[in-house]
């Protein structure tokens, strides 16, 4: 026999009492959570629900139910944002439908609970059989009769009215409210418009000035880096010029060696022929170099880069450019000095090669008397070797004339720069000086060649006279 079995049976009245208590407790917890969130500004757009107009609560305390119905009626004031009246975005259709079903379900449960409470009060008074039932009854009566509950209920009913409208009706209401907002905006006067435009222009000007300053500072840094790189290039060219001067000095030593070799070959016919051929090859290479040197001397081009235009000419005065300007002047001075050194080196190279060509040609002529008769006859006669030699000597004469023309042009330019013969045309001076210069050069050349020619003529005549 089970002694505990009768204690597990509950009467119908007790089961209803426990169910009522559980439902009341759930409603109380839901109400407390919602009210707490509303007080913290997290529910219903941050406005705390205090009372509703239908429950006798002042609209200054809880104006949202009336404002929602004004939105539905198309009379919502322009300064009220419709979104502040709802908890879900008015552009999210799915969220609005979920909210509609939720509010409708909650209100239906509340209405059923309120009806059950009225029916229970009409019956005969029955004392609750347990402490849980008594607690549930007290909670129900306290919550349902509070102003907070009534205010929230009125707000939910107003929202349900709006959510129950069709999607198109709600969109039209929001569009109409935006039109009222635009219409309610105050018209801008001409003075206000001018002030607004002036302020906008001032803001843009300040932004442009800031951007210009930043861009100017970037240009200054870029120009400084470019000038530093240009200094390195000029320095490298100066080192090259030093090496070129060393090479020119070494050519003079090589020329002394050729002169000694030609002098040593005078005692041997075979050695004279060999040295003569080597001198001709070296002399031809020297003439080619002299031609290139004269081309460079006459050219106005330079291997030294120019400093270039100044990109900081239009830089605002509030940007510091003194360091870059000083660096630019220093680089320009280095470039000018390097170009002068370049021109001097070109003239020195041409003069050195002219001296070398003249000395090698003199050494070659000194070997004519020591050559074998066959080699001497081929060089001085009308053979192919003689014609080649004549062309080489004519070319050398042209190179000498080109060099002296450059010297004369430099002399005239220096005189004009010193204002010693201002008003005298360079062409008139050249027309007088060049013929005389050609005559003098031709006479010197013939004077130096005539002994060898006379000697060759005498030897040829002796060979013809001999039987």
Q: How far apart are CA 49 and CA 56, in angstroms?
A: 14
Please choose, from the candidates 47, 49, 52, the residue with its C-alpha nearest in 3D space to the C-alpha of residue 35.
49
Alpha-helical regions (H) of 316-383: 322-366, 373-380
Q: How far is CA 178 from the centre of its chain?
A: 45
Phi/psi at 52 (5° precision): -125, 155
- Residue of 362, 130, 350 whose CA lies nearest to 262: 362
Show the tokens assigned to 34: 């919602």
pLDDT tens, residue order, the chain (467 aa): 343 344 444 444 444 444 454 445 444 444 444 443 333 333 333 333 333 444 455 555 678 999 999 999 989 998 899 999 999 999 999 999 999 999 999 888 878 776 665 555 544 444 455 565 555 556 667 777 788 888 888 999 999 999 999 999 999 999 999 988 888 887 777 777 777 887 887 788 778 767 767 777 888 888 888 888 888 899 899 999 999 888 888 887 788 888 888 888 787 788 888 888 888 888 888 888 888 888 888 888 888 889 888 888 777 777 778 888 888 899 999 999 999 999 889 888 888 888 888 888 888 888 777 777 777 777 666 666 666 766 777 777 888 888 878 777 777 676 666 555 455 556 666 666 777 777 777 777 766 666 666 667 766 666 666 55
CA atoms within 13 A on the CB side of 166: 3
* Residues 121, 140: Cα–Cα separation, whole Å: 13
451 to each of 237, 255, 358, 445, 458, how far by Cα in Å?
47, 24, 17, 11, 10
* Distance, C-alpha 416 to centroid of its chain: 50
List the one residue out of 85, 115, 94 whose CA is nearest residue 167.
94
Q: Where are the domains positioned within the chain?
A: 11-184, 202-465
Nearest Cα to Cα of residue 19 among 136, 131, 139: 136
Torsion of CA 242, 247, 252, 254, to 10 degrees: 160
First CA to last CA distance, the chain: 179
């Amino acid at each position: 026999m089970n002694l505990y079995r009768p204690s597990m049976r509950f009467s119908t009245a007790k089961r209803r009492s426990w169910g009522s208590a559980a439902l009341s407790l759930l409603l109380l917890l839901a109400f407390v959570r919602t009210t707490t969130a509303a007080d913290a500004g997290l529910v219903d757009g941050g406005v705390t629900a205090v009372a509703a107009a239908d429950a006798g609560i002042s609209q200054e305390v809880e104006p949202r139910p009336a404002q929602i119905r004004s939105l539905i009626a198309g009379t919502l004031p322009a300064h009220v944002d419709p979104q502040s009246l709802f908890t879900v975005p008015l552009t999210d259709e799915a969220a609005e439908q979920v909210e509609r079903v939720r509010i409708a379900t909650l209100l239906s449960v509340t209405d059923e609970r309120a009806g059950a409470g009225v029916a229970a009060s009409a019956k005969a008074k029955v004392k609750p059989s347990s402490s849980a039932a008594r607690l549930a009854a007290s909670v129900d009566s306290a919550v349902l009769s509070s102003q907070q509950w009534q205010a929230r209920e009125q707000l939910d009913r107003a929202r349900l009215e709006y959510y129950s409208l069709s999607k198109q009706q709600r969109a039209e209401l929001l569009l109409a409210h935006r039109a009222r907002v635009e219409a309610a905006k105050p018209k801008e006067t001409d003075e206000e418009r001018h002030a607004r435009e002036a302020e906008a222009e001032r803001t843009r000007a300040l932004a442009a000035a800031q951007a210009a300053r930043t861009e100017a500072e970037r240009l200054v840094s870029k120009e400084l880096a470019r000038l530093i790189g240009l200094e390195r290039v000029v320095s490298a060219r100066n080192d090259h010029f030093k090496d070129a001067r060393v090479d020119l000095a070494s050519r003079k030593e090589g020329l002394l060696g050729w002169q000694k070799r030609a002098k040593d070959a005078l005692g041997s016919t075979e050695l004279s022929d060999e040295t003569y051929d080597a001198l001709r090859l070296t002399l031809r290479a020297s003439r080619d170099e002299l031609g290139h040197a004269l081309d460079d001397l006459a050219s106005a081009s330079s291997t030294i880069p120019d400093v270039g235009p100044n990109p900081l000419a239009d830089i605002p005065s509030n940007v510091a450019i003194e360091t870059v300007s000083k660096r630019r002047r220093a680089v320009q001075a280095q470039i000018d000095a390097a170009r002068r050194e370049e021109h001097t080196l070109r003239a020195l190279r041409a003069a050195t090669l002219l001296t070398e060509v003249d000395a090698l040609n003199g050494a070659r002529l000194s070997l004519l008397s020591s050559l074998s008769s066959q080699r001497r006859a081929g060089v001085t006669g009308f053979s192919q070797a003689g014609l080649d030699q004549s062309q080489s000597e004519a070319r050398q004469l042209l190179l000498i004339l080109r060099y002296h023309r450059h010297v004369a042009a430099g002399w005239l330019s220096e005189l004009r720069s010193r204002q010693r013969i201002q008003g005298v045309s360079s062409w008139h001076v050249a027309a007088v000086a060049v013929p005389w210069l050609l005559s003098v050069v031709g006479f010197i050349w013939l004077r130096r060649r005539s002994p060898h020619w006379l000697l060759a003529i005498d030897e040829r005549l002796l060979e013809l006279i001999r039987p």
